[in-house]
Structure 1
């Protein structure tokens, strides 16, 4: 069937003779075998109507005015395809050729939730609860199942951390300079406008818009006219990190005078989450306004943000979980009949950008984006001054220590807010009548970034089968970091004095040591960074071969500017020396087309990666000192795949091998090095691992089989081996001793933590021709390891500082026993999903439900870290023999059965 569309002109500045020009645009929809795809739906982004392909796959649009267009081609059982094209005034007919559709791999209920609440924790240890960056849902079977099914259990494909992923909005990178990670909370809740990336490449596959990293590239184009003209309303009910979500989106399409608007807003909230004492209230907004001046020129303004208020949950020792259950959270307590959490993250970092789209000649495009992001990210915590640790799970308060019974611990297992207020009152009105200030306060660790980005993308066709892409980027960052008094808990002021440093002022240049709510305390400094980057890529397509190559270089200057003069470090105030980093790299992809359904694909990458700001400065809260031996990481990655893209069978089998060399990792915790008469210098330390080498190798299999036209099965397997491949150097830094070198840590062959290294999934899905579906997957996860502390893997662990000899009993067997890396049990998880869509005239409605961990398995440890406190053999060995270790590992457990129900209405 052919349906005419009446479209509004995209031009207001053209002469009248051009204004009424008409063009017919047509194409054929076929599958990969060249067979016509009948009744495919083709949506024109600038209109509310659509056309359908006829029996031979043919469709057309008539009476199109000159301008830039985007169409979306959809067909049940196929992946969507988005095509952009331009219509000029001189064209009467425009042939888009053959639109080739790929069989669908979608197994999810169409809803993917990224739970980023884990990133709020700042407990000590070298690894926090992992944040899952699910960037590639819906690409191939393996990536789709990894995102929707295995990703719910913190599985990371190829072991790659969030830091090695790349997300771009109009070319602007969303990675943070402090740790290199992508903070998904910056656009959380904006699912409608980020559902379909403009480009999404997996792993080390070259991208058109950036050099990328190990974890792929996702590129979002927020051009207002690229969104389909419609209104969408949605409501979701879930028991994950929030309970409710409401979302509304409106896209105007392109008006006759060249304007287009897209707006979206949402709210996510829960008075209390699944974990005790957690709550959330998060909003999100998005706006894009485009003005098209001609068929060759348009400007788009984008603004988005996600103000979020969220309470955190604590990691706990196994003893604590055994006493209190898996939903226990030590961060909260009762105050005036309500639960009050001490660990609150309040973040709002809005982004504003303006993009200029320019078409040059017939085959070239030049897009430029200027962006500005600012805001505040604050994370609160309890602080104390010459007082006892208020943490109810402090090791001396646990029954295993022997002071409190189990019943006594349970009776005081939450923060006693009343006692904290009373302690401040007693300190204010003491016997000598002098106000000594607060002993307990709530403080905020605040990060206020101001980031300016300019990115430029140029692409052209040198020949019909040869494309060239050029990308340039500049970034300027000023990051203001400080601790701020948030709540005095009834006191009149707090003391900006170091209780562990003979009560010396944290800022020697400030005569006032009394601070109130909103005042800075303990530390204040800026981090400054300027970065320039350039990337060029080219793709050549032959009859049997497709070859892509990409190169890049970047240069960065990083500096610290201290605002407080610390009593132990003369260099703590003022600017540090500039740390310069030069990066370069190359990527390549070679695809061999055996035939129309069988392919062999090789990807290779070799590049360097500059250290992050957190790695460059060893302890930025107190000193300008640059981390000793910090270097650029050297990354070498290769993979080889065999791919089948057929109507019945869709399969990818890949083998990969990646090395990361010269990495630096810094973690902070209290180390108890002293034992007996020896003085090893107990302190709150920054542990620096330098020169770490890691290897990641394994196999991936993703297969989808069409058993019948409506019933399909998927099978996914990931067999990985991720480990440390050398014995890196360990240094520590603390306020009293400065930098100390402890030699090498025996870490070779320790496993990379934070993800199951092996995972398998099998699923069945029924797609009815009546537009409903139901599916289920069985998932098995293996080889999840506890993250480790490195200092207790050095000689300091078993060397008596009083004699210089080994401690008595420190045999190789005993040392191996207490330093062995813990491996968690294998786990089985069952998921299911179902949904139905309805078409009622111009209204489209859909409902879906997904349920994870149906069997309510609460034994799965999603993350954890080894407490590094006991860094001496006598105490560590004694602790290992206890039934309830004082310093057992801190763990997070899976939340059990979770569900996500969603309903939407679009018109």
Structure 2
């Protein structure tokens, strides 16, 4: 009976196998020179089994049923590649062609691991486009600018972080307050963010979003897409941290349809290269997927990175000359330990639920709902009716004493006496040897508070020095929907919809009373008026809100459609989008100076739209011409909409949507010996609004226009970014290659924008918080924050024994100082009492005082080496990279002009001093740095 049933079952099931289309999928894995890659491992995400390429690089999967599949190809010393493909019912055999693997930039390049640079130290690739142009993988220009030049704060095409898009499962990671991506939200999760699913550069259209100017990086955190393995790693470095430990586990897809991926890390340093910059940061990641069938799966993702990090101060050149390039003014000794006053504590975890649905033969619909919440706090010293505790306050620096001696000479002599010189030298020695002078004197701050606890009558008094923390607590709900379908074998359509709801709670919190009984919630700059008129006389204790408290609310809706059509010689992709946003402020404190400080503001609404396109002409299998174009608008960020949100609902004067127009044209060669990309680009950004906040002195000997902390607005600023890019890689021998990169840019302001300021002093004087200062003469000023020209040449040896050695020479040009705009207006040289120019004003002097500072060109040398070991299923790798081998400490990575002196007499006097009181504040490169890493995978 059993035999009969077995035979019946066998003959029943055998024909059934023919009712379902079963397809064999195959391909060849080769390197960039076309040489077969033996023993490459191929993971099929929808299966728990792997296959291995044979000696000619051939692999295959058999009995594949109709559906969408994703494979990942791995090989030591090569960059893994993700390929996605569809199997249809009428296919018996599917040829994926040749899959080319590039040398791994993770091994070859400089790892950019500075937290301020986002801890984004790994590159990646994704699927190949249909006509063979590998634009989704990093070419040599992208790789070098990211790993070599990126270590020195070089920005391709001058584009800021605000104009980049990073998505997790369709959800944008850009912050609403300033539009920037905060990499610290997933810092340390390198194993799970190593290889993006999509990585398009600049204005190239994306399948998952409209994108911006800085490209799109799309991460798919589907648990089954991660390679089945366990990975352990340890890194030792002298950059923003000293130690990093990581562990990652991926189960692969189990037989019952589950997949799990977990990762965790810690990065820490008791004291960094820059004095007083300690750090302790953790990170976690979890992805859990359940596949109900080959057509439907649900994935849950959670990740976060609790971070505790001390900051370092920008300093004037005088301070660096006194104390060296590692000096940091933010810390001082307390009980034998370094204590930093500027600590950032951030933890903003993200939770996502994604539904993957296959519809019919050619369509996919993925939906993600996510929620992010948490706290981002940044501490600082605060004082009330007391001296500035900052050791670099200009009156505390030796240069102030020196200038005082010079000014005291009644005979106009430019010399100082021997006694004065001795006094000056003694003070310089104090600065260099006594940490109570050159650093924060925590003991004196505690003593001042303790002595001030009671007045002469025994009544309690508030603190004179405190530590406060500016806190941002965002609650963000996102919904992202992506639909794609093949309308024909060569025609694809993508639809994306996004909704975001933000409630951002912003306030200042009392962090540490520093020995005081309590703190007063009073505004010392407004005659000790209460910060909250509804609660006068409040005593502030640790954990209480003080000075300001408000919510920012925003709803955003965005729709994007893109389509791609493939022809034998042409590939055309077009993308359009529209979005609508509503922004509002709700004040919690009633500021006595602003009638609209409490309650909800009017809604600020903005509508955006845009179009992008890419046209690729395939000259032959190796030569391509590519054009990209984009025209779109950008709504202002919350920081741009509300000029002074801590105090008022006031909308920024002249704020408008930015209008962006960008075009580029490239010639690309993909040969076996030579790979080359030569391109030109031109971008304009019009109607931008920029806001900066600083202390300004606009009083003079003849009239007092007020000294105050102002918010400075540049309204209607226009910029242009244009340049040439060259990236070339030559295969000298099968194991030796050379690369050369050149980026020649010109980024400048093209008009004279209007300048506004707002401050409390103006409210008291005129009844209005806004002052208009006319236009700032900024036309042809250069965009700061990045070298505008950069060049790199590198050599790399890849041994067939799985070890490599590389070196690169890098040259950086045209780095400019960021400027203050108010002193570029007529207010600088106009006497407010008479309305005429100050005596002695000449065009030459104005040009001298307003000239933008250009820094010297710099040369950097880098090197890296590593080896991979394979022992059966165990793989171990060791690598080390060294940046700035020559220990060049003259490279300025960033800085800004102090805007304090907005009157000609004082500005001229400061420019003529041996030691300027208000010279530029600068950050310097850390010098020689290294990164050593060892990992074990099995």
Report the TM range for the smaller structure's normalisation.
over 0.9
Aligned in 2, Cα 1:835/1:152: closer, same or farther, shift over 3 Å? same
Q: Is the 8 A contact 1:590 1:602 kept in 2?
A: yes
Q: Is the 8 A contact 1:289 1:302 kept in 2?
A: yes
1:365 maps to: 364
- Give the superposition deviation at 1:66: 7.9
Cα distance in structure 1, aligned partners of 2:52 and 2:120: 38
Matches within 5 A, 1:193-592: 193-402=192-401, 405-410=427-432, 411=434, 412-592=437-617
Cα distance in structure 2, aligned partners of 1:844 and 1:701: 36
1:660 maps to: 685
Q: Is the 8 A contact 1:28 1:36 kept in 2?
A: no
- Give the superposition deviation at 1:43: 1.7
1:73 maps to: 73
Q: Does 1:808 align with 2:839?
A: yes
Aligned in 2, Cα 1:746/1:377: closer, same or farther, shift over 3 Å? same
1:126 maps to: none
- Give the superposition deviation at 1:100: 3.6
Cα distance in structure 1, aligned partners of 2:93 and 2:357: 21
Q: Secondary structure at the match of 1:624?
A: coil
Residue-by-residue CA offset, 1:594-620 (whole Å, 9 max, x unaligned): 100000000000000000000000000
Cα distance in structure 2, aligned partners of 1:392 and 1:678: 30
Q: Is the 8 A contact 2:385 2:524 kept in 1?
A: yes
- Which consecutive residues of structure 2, in runs of 5 or more, have no partner in the other structure? 1-12, 126-136, 405-423, 763-768
Q: Secondary structure at the match of 1:191?
A: coil
- Give the superposition deviation at 1:650: 0.3
Q: Is the 8 A contact 1:26 1:58 kept in 2?
A: no
Residue-by-residue CA offset, 1:831-859 (whole Å, 9 max, x unaligned): 00001001101000001000000000000
1:759 maps to: 790
Q: Is the 8 A contact 1:32 1:646 kept in 2?
A: no
Q: Is the 8 A contact 2:283 2:305 kept in 1?
A: yes
The alignment's TM-score, normalised by the length of structure 1, stands at 0.94
1:602 maps to: 627
Aligned in 2, Cα 1:521/1:17: closer, same or farther, shift over 3 Å? farther
Q: Does 1:639 align with 2:639?
A: no
Q: Is the 8 A contact 1:117 1:312 kept in 2?
A: no
Cα distance in structure 1, aligned partners of 2:756 and 2:242: 45
- Which consecutive residues of structure 1, in runs of 5 or more, have no partner in the other structure? 1-13, 120-130
Q: Is the 8 A contact 1:40 1:73 kept in 2?
A: no
- Give the superposition deviation at 1:133: 9.8
Cα distance in structure 1, aligned partners of 2:20 and 2:374: 47
2:858 maps to: 827
Aligned in 2, Cα 1:42/1:822: closer, same or farther, shift over 3 Å? same
- Give the superposition deviation at 1:517: 0.4
Cα distance in structure 1, aligned partners of 2:230 and 2:32: 36
- Give the superposition deviation at 1:110: 6.0
Q: Is the 8 A contact 2:38 2:56 kept in 1?
A: no
Aligned in 2, Cα 1:363/1:63: closer, same or farther, shift over 3 Å? closer
Q: Is the 8 A contact 1:171 1:219 kept in 2?
A: yes
Aligned in 2, Cα 1:613/1:506: closer, same or farther, shift over 3 Å? same
Residue-by-residue CA offset, 1:506-527 (whole Å, 9 max, x unaligned): 0001144211000000000000
Cα distance in structure 2, aligned partners of 1:37 and 1:538: 34
Q: Secondary structure at the match of 2:706?
A: coil
1:187 maps to: 186
Matches within 5 A, 1:27-106: 27-29=26-28, 37-39=36-38, 41-46=40-45, 50-54=50-54, 57-62=57-62, 69-74=69-74, 80-85=80-85, 93-101=92-100, 103-104=102-103, 106=105
Q: Is the 8 A contact 2:123 2:194 kept in 1?
A: no
Q: Does 1:695 align with 2:694?
A: no
- Give the superposition deviation at 1:422: 0.6
Larger deviation, residues 91-100 vs 508-517: 91-100
Residue-by-residue CA offset, 1:766-818 (whole Å, 9 max, x unaligned): 00000000000000000000000000000000001111110111111001001
Q: Secondary structure at the match of 1:682?
A: strand
Q: Does 1:746 align with 2:777?
A: yes
Q: Secondary structure at the match of 1:194?
A: coil
Q: Is the 8 A contact 1:45 1:227 kept in 2?
A: no
2:24 maps to: 25
Q: Does 1:772 align with 2:807?
A: no
Cα distance in structure 2, aligned partners of 1:113 and 1:476: 33
Q: Is the 8 A contact 1:66 1:87 kept in 2?
A: yes
- Give the superposition deviation at 1:408: 3.2
Q: Is the 8 A contact 1:37 1:53 kept in 2?
A: no
Aligned in 2, Cα 1:135/1:906: closer, same or farther, shift over 3 Å? closer
Matches within 5 A, 1:883-894: 883-894=914-925
Q: How many correspondences in the alignment? A: 881
Aligned in 2, Cα 1:818/1:399: closer, same or farther, shift over 3 Å? same
- Give the superposition deviation at 1:872: 0.4
- Give the superposition deviation at 1:682: 1.9
Q: Is the 8 A contact 1:551 1:585 kept in 2?
A: yes
Cα distance in structure 2, aligned partners of 1:460 and 1:32: 31
Aligned in 2, Cα 1:424/1:521: closer, same or farther, shift over 3 Å? same
Aligned in 2, Cα 1:797/1:748: closer, same or farther, shift over 3 Å? same
1:869 maps to: 900
Q: Secondary structure at the match of 1:193?
A: coil
Larger deviation, residues 494-503 vs 103-112: 103-112
Cα distance in structure 2, aligned partners of 1:250 and 1:191: 13
Cα distance in structure 1, aligned partners of 2:271 and 2:884: 21
- Give the superposition deviation at 1:629: 0.7
Aligned in 2, Cα 1:133/1:876: closer, same or farther, shift over 3 Å? farther
- Give the superposition deviation at 1:72: 1.8
- Give the superposition deviation at 1:101: 1.8
Cα distance in structure 1, aligned partners of 2:364 and 2:601: 42
The alignment's TM-score, normalised by the length of structure 2, stands at 0.91
Q: Is the 8 A contact 1:787 1:865 kept in 2?
A: yes
Provide the alpha-carbon RMSD of the alignment.
Answer: 2.3
Residue-by-residue CA offset, 1:572-592 (whole Å, 9 max, x unaligned): 000000000000000000000
Cα distance in structure 2, aligned partners of 1:555 and 1:237: 46
Cα distance in structure 1, aligned partners of 2:251 and 2:443: 54
Cα distance in structure 2, aligned partners of 1:254 and 1:36: 32
Aligned in 2, Cα 1:310/1:298: closer, same or farther, shift over 3 Å? same
Cα distance in structure 2, aligned partners of 1:76 and 1:712: 18
- Give the superposition deviation at 1:698: 0.3
2:129 maps to: none
Q: Secondary structure at the match of 2:704?
A: coil
Match of 2:828 among 791, 797, 802: 797
Q: Is the 8 A contact 2:39 2:55 kept in 1?
A: no
Match of 1:735 among 748, 760, 763: 760
Aligned in 2, Cα 1:209/1:315: closer, same or farther, shift over 3 Å? same
Q: Secondary structure at the match of 2:685?
A: strand
2:421 maps to: none
Residue-by-residue CA offset, 1:149-184 (whole Å, 9 max, x unaligned): 000000000000000000000000000000000000
Cα distance in structure 1, aligned partners of 2:245 and 2:345: 20
Cα distance in structure 2, aligned partners of 1:858 and 1:31: 43
- Give the superposition deviation at 1:115: 1.5
- Give the superposition deviation at 1:44: 1.3
Aligned in 2, Cα 1:105/1:268: closer, same or farther, shift over 3 Å? closer
